[in-house]
Amino acid sequence: MIEWILSTFMIVGAALMLLAAIGIIRLPDLPTRMHASTKSGALGTSLIMIAVALAFMDTAVSARAFAIISFIILTAPVAAHVIGRAGYFVGVPLWEGTVKDALKESYDPETHQLHSGLEGKEPRKSVTYGVAESPATKDLEEPEPKKPE
C-alpha cells in the first residue's frame, strides 16, 4: 500500500520538475520563465523528499527530508524575487506580447528610485474641482480646530 503512495509521489514530483524544465525552455521572457521554474521545481523536490521520508520510515531521515523541504520552500521565492528584481533593473527585455508593465511608469532607471505615484501632488482640495458639496470629498477636508474657551 505504502509502495503505491510512494511511487505516486515520485512520479508526480519528477513530472512536475520535467514541466518546470519544459516551461523554462518554452516560455518567452525572464519573468515567465521564473514563474515556471520556481513554483513547480520547488513542489517537485518537495514531493520527492516526501517520498524519501516514506521510503525510509526513520526519524532521522524524515527530519532531514523535512529540513530540505522547508529550506527549499523558504528560499525559492526569495531567490526568484531577487533575480527578477535584478533582471528588471538591468533591463532585460520583456516579451513583446506583454500586456501590462506596472513598474514602467513609477520606476526611474536614472535615479534608481521607485515612486508610489503620489509624490508632489497637493492634498486634494474639493473647491478646485467644483464638487465642494460632494459627500465623498467632504471627509478629506480637515475640520477647523476649535479654540479653547
Partner 1 sequence: MINPLVINITYLMLTSALLLSFVRLAKGPSLPDRVVALELVATIVAGIVGTHAIDTGVASFLDIAIVLALTAFLAAIGFARFLERGGPRDD
By CB under 8 A, residue 94 contacts partner 1? no
Helix, strand, coil shares of the chain, percent, nearest 5, are: 60, 5, 40
Is the CB of 81 or the CB of 104 nearer to partner 1?
A: 81
Query: Which residues, listed in sequence order, are joined to residue 107 by a DSSP beta bridge?
Result: 114
Q: What is the amino acid identity at position 78?
A: V
By CB under 8 A, residue 92 contacts partner 1? yes
Q: Nearest approach, Cβ of 25 to partner 1 (angstroms)?
A: 5
Is the CB of 89 or the CB of 129 nearer to partner 1?
A: 89
Q: Nearest approach, Cβ of 11 to partner 1 (angstroms)?
A: 6
Burial of 112 (0-12, 13-18, 19+ CB in 10 A): exposed
By CB under 8 A, residue 57 contacts partner 1? no
User: Which residue from 71, 114, 134, 138 is in contact with partner 1, where contact means CB under 8 A?
Assistant: 71
**3-state SS string for 22-85:** HHHHHCCCHHHHHHHHHHHHHHHHHHHHHHHHHHHCCHHHHHHHHHHHHHHHHHHHHHHHHHHH
Q: Give me the residues that bind partner 1 (CB under 8 A), please.
A: 3, 6-7, 10-11, 13-15, 17-18, 20-22, 24-25, 30, 33-34, 37-38, 41-42, 44-45, 48-49, 51-52, 55-56, 58, 60-61, 64-65, 67-68, 71-72, 75-76, 78-80, 82-87, 89-90, 92
